[in-house]
Amino acid sequence: MNVGVAHSEVNPNTRVMNSRGIWLAYLLLTTALHVVLLSIPFLSVPVVWTLTNVIHNLAMYLFLHTVKGTPFETPDQGKARLLTHWEQMDYGVQFTASRKFLTISPIDTCEHKTCYFYTKYDTAHFVVNTGSLLSVLLPKLPQFHGVRLFGINKY
Amino acid sequence: AKDSKIAHLGYQEEKGEDSFEEAPMYVAVLTYMNYGIVILFGYFRDFLRAVGLEKCHQAQEREEQRNFVPLYQDFENFYKRNLYTRVRDNWNRPICSFPGPFFDIMERVSDDYNWTFRLTGRTIENVINMGSYNYLGFAENNVDFLKTVAEETRQYGVGVCSTRQELGNLSIHEKLERLVAEFLGVESAMAFGMGFATNSMNIPALVGKGCLILSDELNHTSLILGARLSGATIRVFKHNNMQSLEKMLKESICSGQPRTHRAWKKILIMVEGIHSMEGSLVRLPEILALKKKYKAYLYLDEAHSIGAVGPTGRGVTEHFGVDPNEVDVLMGTFTKSFGAAGGYIAGKKELVDYLRSHSHSAVYATAMSPPVVEQIIRAIKCIMGVDGTTEGQRRVRQLAENTRYLRSRLKKMGFIIYGNQDSPVVPLLLYLPGKVGAFSRAMLKRKIGIVVVGFPATPITEARARFCVSAAHTREMLDKSLDELGDDIKVKFSRHRSSYRPELYDETDFELDS
């Protein structure tokens, strides 16, 4: 047991996404990324939107669905070592508020009057954006909890 | 008169509510940005270490064992090597005097950014101690006290070399237990050698499989360990939240044991008098009302509150005006207010007699050492006033004054403080991990020693510094530490602003022409 810990939470990682202000911090970070990309002079607006979408989804995939375990030792005897952060959220309970928010947020960036609209429904952009969106939506489905395709990222 | 006070609607205002003020939203967002930057730099540095551009100070697998299944996971150590090591010099500082109101810290420096330390040989003297649990100031080098301790050591020796059940039951132990029972106002008590072990070894003796434990969210590790060792079903209720507790009680009683739905053998509610990280007081009258309504037992851990709250230092039961015989199991430690080591469990005579033969501590653990026992006896006699002086009462009153003073001054200065106005544990919220390190170092430079805690020991947005008020602190010491908490490290996040009340004159100055 981690002596000197101020709570009885076995894995503090599960509560991070429910903490106060993290949704706002996440939205601000995405907006900041978009603004930085918009300031690069030689990129056109459709390219910037696609880039924002792709980089955001890539980062989300990396931090939520690739990195496994906790960055600190937990007293749960290794139960969370093989789980990604998404699977650890709220101890695996599906359809909580944070999970719904993080599922809807990339869809919102991608579709809802934003990305597709600004890229003027161009085919190439559409393919790239949808591919990237699917790569970040599929791991969030409850059916994919703990699933590792082709043994990638299993251990 | 006591019962009417409990029924009175406004009593909560008399006793003071626990305050857990929220910081403004920008502070929470900045905290996450702070963690984000540190994590990114952590990944970058790990990459440099992996490539070989930076020397790796951590323990590594041997060359011959590179292809074996790894013993440890790299990532589990990420926080420790990238965040904790940067600020590691704020913890485990070696001290070289007794931890009274002032103490001496051995100066240590690091040449490689906190991976290794070396002592320079100098000491930082007379650092104000705001971190020790020295509530009544018994951590002192007092010749009068130590005279009786020395005599008892000459008579009984230093080591007991046996458990209580075998040959280790000395007459001084019985004296201590009678005194503890008299001090608390209960029938009987039993003392153990270690405070942590008191909880973790006695809860399994009291409850077992088929029982239900309802424990507070922020209970101490020892209580959690004891609950897990017992094999009972554990349900956690929100901190100090009586509605959550009642809801849980109702649901558990209605549905019964997990699979069989039989009635529970026992229901035990575990709470702490003062929680050491929050400084919040337990809502004892409400819990007692719930306990009586649903026929549950109450286990009250008074580790930080015995000797520290209450008009004569008898703990939360006296603070709320409650009869201590109503609480089923009173537990406490001698480490904090009595300047010794160990713990006790007190209650009805049948309960304590049962523990004498069934507790793991009693049967297997060595008995308390006689000098420590004598120190506790001396401290309790001093608080009770039995030794003929009013020193004990003075200390209890001084602690209450110091607590109120420090808390009100800190609030007025604009810091966010958690907890009840009467609790001597004062957590000052720092929020950002960078400020945690900076605050502790700045305080040490100004000769004040404090304890800071961060994630994952606290929730991610609530890193804090913890002040422990002591009766040995004088007004000047408190003023000095308050004055040093300036505006350099901007942590004054409180948004409680009282309306403008101008001070027309200086109330402490009585000169005619000012």
What confidence tens digit (pLDDT) does each residue in B262-310 have? 999 999 999 999 998 888 999 999 999 999 999 999 999 999 999 999 8
pLDDT of residue B5: 39
CB of B218 less than 8 A from some CB of A = yes
φ/ψ (deg, to 5) at B93: -75, 130
CB atoms under 10 Å from CB of B96, counted, come to 11
- How do residues B340-351 score in pLDDT, each as one tens digit? 999 999 999 999
Residues A20, B22: C-beta atoms closer than 8 Å: yes
Residues of chain B with pLDDT > 90, as a percent, come to 52
The answer regarding whether domain B143-384 maps to CATH 3.40.50.970 reads: no
Q: Report chain B residues whose CB lies below 8 A from the CB of A29.
A: 36
pLDDT of residue B50: 85
- How do residues B322-337 score in pLDDT, each as one tens digit? 999 999 999 999 999 8
pLDDT averaged over chain B? Answer: 87
Q: For residues B37-46, give the mean pLDDT.
A: 92
pLDDT averaged over chain A? Answer: 87
Residue of A nearest to B34 (CA): A25
Using 50, 70 and 90 to split pLDDT, how confident is the model at B16?
low
User: Residues 177..216 of B with a Cβ closer than 8 Å to A: which?
Assistant: 215
Q: Which residue blocks in chain A are alpha helix, DSSP H?
A: 22-38, 45-60, 85-88, 97-110, 115-118, 123-137
Q: For residues B145-171, give the mean pLDDT.
A: 89
Going by the DSSP 8-state scheme, the letter that residue B21 receives in this structure is P
* pLDDT value at B126 more than 80: yes
pTM of the model as a whole: 0.86
Residue B501 vs residue B108, higher pLDDT: B108
Using 50, 70 and 90 to split pLDDT, how confident is the model at B513?
low
Print the domain residue range for A36.
Answer: 12-144
pLDDT of residue B200: 92
> Tokens in use for B494?
């409180």
DSSP letters, B442-501, are: HHHHTTEE-EEE-TTTS-TT--EEEEE--TT--HHHHHHHHHHS-SSS--------PPP-
Q: Report chain A residues whose CB lies below 8 A from the CB of B455.
A: 12
pLDDT of residue B3: 41
Residues B22, A67: C-beta atoms closer than 8 Å: no
Residue B504 vs residue B212, higher pLDDT: B212
CB of A2 less than 8 A from some CB of B = yes
CB of B236 less than 8 A from some CB of A = yes
Residue of A nearest to B80 (CA): A72
Tell me, what's the ipTM? 0.89
Q: For residues B397-410, give the mean pLDDT.
A: 91
* pLDDT value at B188 more than 90: yes
**Residue A155 belongs to some domain of the structure:** no
Smallest Cα distance from B153 to chain A, Å:
32
CA distances (Å), origin A46, targets A36, A51, B140:
15, 9, 73
Judge whether A87 and A68 are in contact, CB under 8 Å.
Answer: no
Q: d(Cα B514, Cα B154) in Å, to the nearest integer?
A: 63
**Residue A104 belongs to some domain of the structure:** yes
> What is the total count of domains within chain A?
1
Is the Cα dihedral B152, B158, B161, B162 positive or negative? positive
Residue of A nearest to B70 (CA): A155
Of A97-101, B212-216, B509-513, where does mean pLDDT reach its minimum? B509-513
Nearest to B76 among A19, A28, A69 (CB): A69
pLDDT of residue B508: 67
| CATH number of B20-129+390-496, picked from 3.90.1150.10, 3.40.50.740, 3.40.50.2300, 3.40.50.10440 | 3.90.1150.10
Q: Report chain A residues whose CB lies below 8 A from the CB of B25.
A: 20-21, 24
CB of B277 less than 8 A from some CB of A = yes
Using 50, 70 and 90 to split pLDDT, how confident is the model at B4?
very low
Q: d(Cα B260, Cα B180) in Å, to the nearest integer?
A: 42
* pLDDT value at B502 more than 80: no
**Residue A150 belongs to some domain of the structure:** no
Nearest to A28 among B29, B458, B460 (CB): B29
Using 50, 70 and 90 to split pLDDT, how confident is the model at A10?
confident
Task: Spell out the domain ranges in chain B.
Answer: 20-129+390-496, 143-384
**Residue A149 belongs to some domain of the structure:** no
Residues B459, A19: C-beta atoms closer than 8 Å: yes
**Residue A78 belongs to some domain of the structure:** yes
- How do residues B412-464 score in pLDDT, each as one tens digit? 888 888 888 889 999 999 888 889 999 999 989 888 999 999 887 888 888 99
User: Residues 24..43 of B with a Cβ closer than 8 Å to A: which?
Assistant: 25, 28-29, 31-33, 36, 39
**Residue A3 belongs to some domain of the structure:** no
> Tokens in use for A91?
């101890």
Residues B459, A7: C-beta atoms closer than 8 Å: yes
Judge whether B261 and B210 are in contact, CB under 8 Å.
Answer: no
Q: d(Cα B119, Cα B110) in Å, to the nearest integer?
A: 9
pLDDT of residue B105: 93
